[in-house]
């Protein structure tokens, strides 16, 4: 589904991603962990099509297409979804209008008619239930005045509306209370199908109790320095990142 | 020349040549204001950029032009005015049309609405309701710096009069349509007086239209009295062609515990200057001042607000926004004056602007003069482009860049529009703003002028 090969990227001339290779197959859940500032969100931004990150080397192929050549909106319509670490507030733009436009753009791309107003509202209702989001949130402006946790739930709600093939969730679990964490995880599990995949960026093993990853990667200083099964997350929770940092430094010396 | 500019001299001459004609059709009471106002005008003159409040607006190009002057309606005007239909069809309002500043009806120059409400011609009201009229006319429109207020007082003779008696709630708004139409370039002035007595509830919509492509200059003054505990909203919608200059001066005087809002929506216009004076003249009064403009080509839109906190425990909030395209220019000057007695004042001000091109230009200037100590006051101004992060957020959901830009601009504008409480008007404004942002012409259907 997604093949990243030796991806290097920089922001304003500063090199951030220093050669990442990663393959995600249909139906897989990959977790990416790693210390602050290691480049996790930057990787997510490159995949979603953020222009200020400059790709300097490497390739990314998504469903056989060259992802790096596609505009952000086209990637979305082809099934890529980014759950933002810091969702953006957009005053004056209502959630309803935002989602209606987005859903109908996706439908147009698939050659479908726009949804009728009543079908759309029904869809909103169903998905709201699925992610147990407060009904009133959907009547407000996009993320405006939402609490941290509400913003994260709203990301999962949007994911449910757009039914992506590849969802990249950037710290969607941060700032969630225990109930919200369970709801978010349930949302993901309900959307999980054999043909769609997830990349879950997180700092906490806790989330991975609910969303069981097939693979866990550690990103450090712009490189994937360790890849293993889900037991790696438990080990990191116990021991922190120091031992990995040491391993990396020793390897460099060796 | 006594150091007066040639332009000012021209208007002094205009007064001298026509004062007899003007006085002939006005009441003695209105006429009694003319000579002192003329004195004041000859002292202050037409504002230039040297006047701090007109620093960013050059009126000369419009005041320097030779116009036909409109001092009296002719019979054919009455027909034109009757033919006009507002295209906000589901707006249920008590309508009044002003043509070139006059109340163009031969009969029934004042209409009685339910509960003793009166609407109609200012000139007529000065005679028929002399008691009420004389209590308020000329009491609120005052300025020590702006000659245009006095030019209006010296020469205007008609306009709209609205009277809402104590305790009355008028459920439908009053809609005043200001039409300007002529075969010649034309200068006109009108004067409105609105009286909302104690405990009344009332809103007025004022629509400014131009119906023919000639060059127009309008200088209007509106005085509003809002009695104790009364609720009053004024919404002004401006949709004029690029060759028209509109200057509006609105003075809102508030008594104790009254609540008012003013909303200036400028969709289109050549040169527009809106001055809104809020006088919080009683304890516990609240005043909201909103404005939105969309400008392109060579248009220039200037909003001036004077928020005068004269009594304790009053609240005010200003929110003005502008979207500037092409080489258009704009200005915002928001003054907050908190007088020494006005303890417990809350006063807020926000001015946000989006420049869509490198050639567009916006000047914004807060002016805070605070003489009390128990005051909460904040102000903020931004001039910038659309937010890249917000744009990407929308795109990342599959919305293409063009559409995403439109959504953001619309959302930006909607923050002002959403304060309009009259639903059909709010929806219509949202619509017109969207069309305008898409580059489609946002004129009302009845406008003959194609500015695009
Ligand atoms: N817009 C930007 N301009 C300049 N530097 C940036 C920008 N965005 C990210 N960086 C830098 O790139 C590096 C990687 O940041 P990134 O946000 O990808 O880290 P992260 O792994 O997601 O961290 P965290 O766990 O704290 O979310 C950091 O050093 C950061 O300061
Ligand atoms: Mg991050």
| pLDDT (tens place) for every residue of chain A, 254 residues total | 999 999 999 999 999 999 999 999 999 999 999 999 999 999 999 999 999 999 999 999 999 999 999 999 999 999 999 999 999 999 999 999 999 999 999 999 999 999 999 999 999 999 988 888 777 888 899 999 999 889 999 999 999 999 999 999 999 988 888 888 888 888 888 888 999 999 999 988 888 888 999 999 999 999 999 898 888 888 888 888 888 888 877 776 54
Ligand nearest to the Cα of A38, by number: 1
What residues in A contact B413, CB-CB < 8 Å?
A: 92
The encoded tokens of residue B180 equal 């300007």
More confident residue, A177 or B281: B281
Instruction: Give the confidence band of B448 by pLDDT, cuts at 50, 70, 90.
Output: very low
Q: Give every CB contact of residue B271 below 8 A, 6+ residues apart in sequence.
A: B57, B59, B61, B62, B244, B245, B246, B299, B300, B301
pLDDT 10s digits, B45-83: 999 999 999 999 999 999 999 988 877 777 676 776 677
Q: Give every CB contact of residue B76 below 8 A, 6+ residues apart in sequence.
A: none
Nearest CA to ligand 1 atom 5: A11
* Cα three-residue angle B244-B247-B249, rounded to 5 degrees: 160
Give pLDDT, residue A170.
95
The reply to whether residue A98 touches residue B414, judged by beta carbons under 8 angstroms, is no
The encoded tokens of residue A108 equal 């147009």
Q: Is residue A117 within 8 angstroms of chain B, CB to CB?
A: no
Q: Rounded to a whole number, what is the distance in Å from the CA of B162 to chain A's nearest CA?
A: 34
Q: Which atom of ligand 1 is nearest to the CA of A39?
A: 18
DSSP alpha helices (H): ranges in B85-215?
A: 122-128, 130-136, 147-155
Taking Cα atoms as reference points, which of B34, B41, B40 lies closest to residue B19?
B34
Which residue in the block uniquely carries the two structure tokens 């679990």?
A173
Strand order in the sheet with B259-268: B94-99, B174-180, B201-210, B231-239, B259-268, B286-295, B315-324, B345-355, B375-384
Interface of A with B in 33-52 (CB under 8 A): 48-52
Q: How far is CA B263 from the centre of its chain?
A: 8
Give pLDDT, residue A45.
97
More confident residue, B406 or B211: B406
Give pLDDT, residue B236.
96
CA distance A70 to A42: 17
Give pLDDT, residue B318.
98
- Sign of the four-CA dihedral A147, A152, A157, A161: positive
Residue B347, judged by CB atoms within 10 A of its CB (0-12, 13-18, 19+), counts as buried
3-state helix, strand, coil in chain B (%, to 5): 25, 40, 35
Report how many Cβ contacts below 8 Å link chain A to chain B. 79
| pTM of the complete model beyond 0.95 | no
Please check whether residue B427 is in contact with residue B188, taking contact to mean a CB–CB distance below 8 angstroms: no
CA distance B413 to A102: 21
CA distance B452 to B296: 10
Q: How far is CA A39 from the centre of its chain?
A: 14
Average pLDDT over residues B11-26: 92
Ligand 1 center from residue B170 Cα (angstroms): 58
**pLDDT of B445 over the 60 cut:** no
Which residue in the block uniquely carries the two structure tokens 């407060």?
A134
Dihedral pair phi/psi, residue B228, rounded to 5°: -50, 130
Strands A53-62 and A2-11: antiparallel
Packed helices B6-24 and B34-44: angle between N→C axes, nearest 10 degrees: 170
% of chain B residues with pLDDT over 90: 78
The SS3 assignment for B13 reads: helix
Please check whether residue A47 is in contact with residue A67, taking contact to mean a CB–CB distance below 8 angstroms: yes
**pLDDT of B133 over the 50 cut:** yes
Interface of B with A in 389-428 (CB under 8 A): 389-390, 392-401, 403-404, 407-408, 410-415, 418
Ligand 1 pocket check for A16: Cβ under 6 Å: yes
pLDDT 10s digits, B367-417: 999 999 999 999 999 999 999 999 999 999 999 999 999 999 999 999 999
CA distance B23 to B17: 12
pLDDT 10s digits, B425-444: 999 999 889 988 887 754 54
Please name the member of B389, B396, B412 whose beta carbon is closest to the beta carbon of A92: B412
Taking Cα atoms as reference points, which of A14, A2, A112 lies closest to residue A65?
A2
Longest CA–CA separation in chain B, Å? 69
For chain A, the domains span 2-88+165-253
The CATH number assigned to the domain with range A2-88+165-253 reads: 3.40.50.300
């Amino acid at each position: 589904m997604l093949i990243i090969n030796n991806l290097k990227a920089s922001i304003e001339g500063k090199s951030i991603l220093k050669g990442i290779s990663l393959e995600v197959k249909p139906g897989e859940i990959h977790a990416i962990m790693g210390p602050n500032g290691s480049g996790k969100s930057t990787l997510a931004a490159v995949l979603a099509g953020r222009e200020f990150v400059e790709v300097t080397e490497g390739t990314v192929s998504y469903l056989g297409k060259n992802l790096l050549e596609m505009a952000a909106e086209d990637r979305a319509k082809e099934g890529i979804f980014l759950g933002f670490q810091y969702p953006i507030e957009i005053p004056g733009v209502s959630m309803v209008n935002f989602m209606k436009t987005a859903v109908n753009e996706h439908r147009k791309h698939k050659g479908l008619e726009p949804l009728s107003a009543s079908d759309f509202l029904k869809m909103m209702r169903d998905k709201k239930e699925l992610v147990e989001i407060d009904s009133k949130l959907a009547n407000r402006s996009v993320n405006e005045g939402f609490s941290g946790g509400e913003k994260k739930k709203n990301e999962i709600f949007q994911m449910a509306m757009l039914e992506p093939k590849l969802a990249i969730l950037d710290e969607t679990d941060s700032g969630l209370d225990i109930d919200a964490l369970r709801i978010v995880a349930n949302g993901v599990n309900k959307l999980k199908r054999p043909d769609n995949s997830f990349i879950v960026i997180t700092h906490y093993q806790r989330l991975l109790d609910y969303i069981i990853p097939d693979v866990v990667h550690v990103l450090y200083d712009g490189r994937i320095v360790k890849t293993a099964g889900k037991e790696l997350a438990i080990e990191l929770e116990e021991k922190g990142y120091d031992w990995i940092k040491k391993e990396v430094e020793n390897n460099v010396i060796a | 020349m006594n150091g007066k500019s040639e332009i000012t001299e021209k208007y002094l001459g205009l007064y001298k040549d026509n004062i007899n004609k003007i006085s002939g059709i006005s009441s003695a009471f209105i006429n009694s204001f003319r000579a002192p106002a003329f004195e004041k005008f000859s002292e202050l003159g037409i504002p230039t950029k040297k006047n701090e409040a007109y620093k960013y607006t050059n009126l000369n190009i419009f005041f320097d032009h030779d116009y036909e002057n409109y001092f009296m309606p002719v019979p054919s005007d009455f027909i034109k005015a009757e033919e006009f239909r507002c295209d906000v069809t589901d707006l249920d309002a008590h309508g009044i049309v002003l043509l070139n500043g006059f109340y163009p009806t031969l009969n029934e120059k004042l209409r009685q609405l339910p509960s003793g409400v009166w609407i109609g011609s200012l000139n007529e009201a000065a005679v028929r309701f002399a008691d009420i009229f004389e209590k308020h006319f000329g009491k609120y429109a005052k300025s020590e710096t702006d000659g245009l207020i006095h030019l209006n007082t010296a020469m205007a003779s008609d306009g709209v009069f609205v009277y809402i008696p104590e305790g009355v709630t008028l459920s439908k708004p009053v809609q005043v349509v200001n039409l300007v139409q002529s075969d010649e370039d034309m200068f006109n002035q009108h004067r409105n007086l609105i009286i909302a007595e104690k405990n009344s509830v009332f809103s007025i919509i004022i629509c400014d239209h131009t119906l023919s492509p000639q060059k127009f200059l309008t200088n209007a003054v509106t005085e509003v009295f809002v009695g104790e505990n009364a609720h009053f909203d004024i919404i002004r919608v401006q949709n004029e062609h690029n060759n028209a200059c509109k200057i509006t001066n609105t003075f809102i005087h508030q008594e104790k515990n009254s609540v008012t809002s003013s909303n200036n929506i400028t969709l289109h216009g050549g040169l527009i200057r809106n001055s809104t004076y809020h006088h919080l003249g009683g304890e516990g009064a609240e005043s909201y001042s909103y404005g939105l403009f969309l400008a392109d080509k060579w248009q220039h839109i200037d909003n001036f607000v004077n928020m005068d906190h004269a009594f304790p425990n009053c609240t005010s909030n200003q929110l003005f926004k502008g979207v500037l395209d092409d080489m258009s220019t704009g200005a915002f000057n928001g003054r907050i004056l908190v007088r020494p007695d006005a303890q417990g004042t809350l006063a807020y001000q926000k001015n946000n602007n989006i420049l869509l091109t490198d050639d567009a230009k916006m000047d914004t200037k807060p002016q805070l003069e605070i003489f009390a100590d128990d005051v909460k006051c904040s102000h903020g101004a931004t001039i910038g482009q659309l937010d890249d992060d917000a744009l990407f957020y929308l795109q990342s959901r599959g919305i293409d860049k063009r559409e995403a830009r439109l959504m953001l601009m619309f959302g930006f504008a909607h923050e002002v529009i959403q304060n309009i409480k009259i639903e059909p008007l709010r929806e219509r404004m949202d619509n017109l703003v969207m069309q305008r942002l898409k580059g489609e012409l946002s004129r009302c259907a009845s406008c003959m002028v194609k500015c695009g």
